[in-house]
Amino acid sequence: MGAKAPPFQWGVHLGPSPTLGGMDDLSQLRRSYERAELDESASAAEPWQQFARWLDEALSAKLPEPNAMTVATVGPDGRPSTRIVLIKGFDARGIVWYTNYESRKGRELAGHPFAALQFHWVELERVVRIEGQVERVSAEESDAYYRSRPLDSRLGAWASPQSQVISSRAVLVANAAKAAMQHGLNPPRPPHWGGYRLEPEAWEFWQGRPSRLHDRLRYRLDAGQWVRERLAP
């Protein structure tokens, strides 16, 4: 008789299909969302106020990077792209972040000034989605935020040709050293760097619920007024 097959060990793949077991395991991953609910009567009349409530709760819960959001843009070929950035401000006018205007997202927004944002606060079982038109913030706003950044970050804005191919990390280090020599302790804001504001046309607040019967409230603009409506999960 031949030797017995060794017992299965997690992470050790046997046979010609090394990913099959992993895919089968992924199909069984699920959880029941039971932390909270989102009812129309308890939600704010203005979506940015509802966002302020949820962001404050995410901050109070000390979640890891509660200010991180996905930004989705569309290129000239119609293909979407996403990346993570950090929200730096918001009010009734919209959501603000800062970046390199010559980056991929900057170029795509120049050609198609619309974007979608998403916050995912896993521990609170919540998602916020925002869609709308994007424009640059004023030079004064960009200058003020740039001056508030740590010196290394201000120099980094000069050093990185964001989204461009570079030969090695040494290029960034050399660029940063050159910027430090040139600008010293008070570098000006680079002309290619500044803020964007997404002016929302639609917000969606998603709260996980049991049995996949999640709560979804959407706010959409209609004749200048926000209309709140429930979406099926």
Q: For residues 182 and 178, give the distance between their C-alpha atoms in angstroms, rounded to a whole number.
A: 6
In the three-class reduction of DSSP (H, G, I as helix; E, B as strand; rest coil), residue 14 is classed as coil
Which pLDDT score is estimated for 61? 97
Q: pLDDT, tens digit, for every residue of 20-62?
A: 456 668 888 888 888 899 999 999 999 999 999 999 999 999 9
pTM metric for this prediction? 0.86
Which pLDDT score is estimated for 13? 39
Q: pLDDT, tens digit, for every residue of 138-193?
A: 999 999 999 999 999 999 999 999 999 999 999 999 999 999 999 999 999 999 99
Which pLDDT score is estimated for 5? 44
Is residue 208 within 8 A of residue 122, CB to CB? The reply is no
Task: Please pick, among 197, 212, 216, 218, the residue that the annotation labels catalytic.
Answer: 212
Which pLDDT score is estimated for 34? 83
Q: For residues 39 and 220, give the distance between their C-alpha atoms in angstroms, rounded to a whole number.
A: 17
Q: pLDDT, tens digit, for every residue of 82-131?
A: 999 999 999 999 999 999 999 999 999 999 999 999 999 999 999 999 99
Q: For residues 163 and 52, give the distance between their C-alpha atoms in angstroms, rounded to a whole number.
A: 32
Based on the residue annotation, tell me whether 154 is a catalytic residue of this protein.
no
Low-confidence winner among 28-32, 54-58, 76-80, 215-219 (lowest mean pLDDT): 28-32
- Which helix (H) or strand (E) segment holds residue 56: the answer is helix 47-60
Domains annotated on the chain, with CATH: 34-149+191-230 (2.30.110.10)
Residue 157 phi, psi (nearest 5): -65, -30
